[in-house]
Amino acid sequence: MNGTLLIVGGTIIHSTGEDPKPILQQAQDDSGQGKTNILIQNGKISLTSSDGIADETMDASGLLIFPGFIDAHVHFREPGLTHKATMASEAAAARAGGVTTVCEMPNTNPPTFTVDAFADKVERAKKITDCDIRFFMGAITHDHLSELRKLWTDPSPEMKRLKKRCCGLKLFLENSTGDLKIEPEVVEEAFRLCAEIHCPITAHCEDARLNEAANAEITDEGVASHSLRRPPESEATSIEYVITLARRYGTMLHIAHLSTGLGLELVRLAKTEGLPITCEVTPHHLFLNTDDYGRLGTYLKMNPPIRSTEDNAALWQGIKDGTIDMVATDHAPHLKEEKEVSPPLSAPSGVPGVETMLPLLLTEAQQGNITYSDIVRLCFMNPNEHYRLGKEDIVDGASLDLVLVDPKEEWEIHGEELHSACGWTPFEGRKVVGKVIRVLSF
């Protein structure tokens, strides 16, 4: 950004707690009381109560101002799967949804198992300006763990540069897109190594043996049987296993896309022990459930699968009591023609979500179910701290992205109007309140 910009009249949202109604009333208050102007100059912000003089003045009256949001779980499909999406297309979707930093998963083609594959992704991301893309390493063999050790501990300038772009190690305890299930004998070594080198592990938790047993018993070939073929007990058993390893070695562990009340309770108990464990939940596991298979069909197929209304309620309680640390989308675009196949269970698993996460959460805040500060905690502060992303909050002297939101604008979500290359959304036609007006980067 060249020159200076003065933003006047907006309401800055931090991660400290507040009731959503006073914030919304404040955003609607034309008197300007309780508001702080933001002067942007030389790439940094200055908080001021005066109007000042700037090259450009932006009236943000009635708007909420957030730091750029973080989606800690995305699949941008590049390299190797660019017929589905690219870094450029999905970064545009992220920015349109107020997300300016993402953590991208290793199940591309080739998978991100080696330093060379990791470096290739970092190089590709240099041309992306819509958001900051960080990357996970993956592993299924001992050789892959050796590559992680090199990336994480080699003192050379090149390795230090690459490590700054690395979120940690992603482990798949069961197959999903890309079939990256880690070899069982490698799992414990991964936990031991990551504890040694202080590298966080993010785990996709499903138990392959329980899934195989469930599949053997089920004869129904409908898409709704996907939730039965990967049952809640599968997730809970896998979570219990990785918590045991985290306890044994002291490894920083993050549970990806938590989908069940059973799994949530295990995480809650582990936290009471003081174990270094965090977890995330996706919007689709919060807002959708097995009743939606009839409406969405194969578009609702994902891993872990969609769950019951009781699981929805348990996950919302986990957000309210602080057990759940993050909301992340598991944004996983597939083309419509890939989803609309027969037999239905052959459809690929995954749904897009990076652009719709914020409006869904803003609607919950507008309705008083969560606070706007909860959104900052779940989608900025906690992922920033856990993955050591180095993002700054809205404070004097900070250099960061700003997201300006109209908390009162009502609109409907339609896939054809979104920016992801896949062109669809499981939230088609959903009415939401709160829309991104402008995203500023400097």
196 token code pair:
């040694």
Is residue 86 a contact partner of residue 35, using CB atoms and an 8 Å limit? no
For 112, how many CA atoms within 13 A lie in the half-sphere containing its CB? 31
Is residue 279 a contact partner of residue 330, using CB atoms and an 8 Å limit? no
400 token code pair:
């960061």
Let me know if 220 is a catalytic residue. Answer: no
How far apart are the C-alpha atoms of 361 and 433, rounded to whole Å?
A: 9
Q: Pick from 77, 76, 134: which is nearest to 102 by CA?
A: 134
How far apart are the C-alpha atoms of 233 and 305, rounded to whole Å?
A: 12
How far apart are the C-alpha atoms of 24 and 62, rounded to whole Å?
A: 8
Q: Pick from 283, 288, 319: which is nearest to 306 by CA?
A: 288
Is residue 222 a contact partner of residue 252, using CB atoms and an 8 Å limit? no
235 token code pair:
């997730």
CA 51 to chain centre: 37
Reported as type and span, the H/E element at residue 46 is strand 44-48
How far apart are the C-alpha atoms of 306 and 296, rounded to whole Å?
A: 12
How far apart are the C-alpha atoms of 228 and 419, rounded to whole Å?
A: 33
Is residue 316 a contact partner of residue 286, using CB atoms and an 8 Å limit? yes
Paired strand residues for 170: 138, 202
Query: How many other CB atoms sit within 10 Å of the CB of residue 196?
Result: 14
Query: Which of 130, 311, 330, 374 is an active site residue?
Result: 330
Cα end-to-end span (Å), the chain? 6
**Residues with catalytic roles:** 330
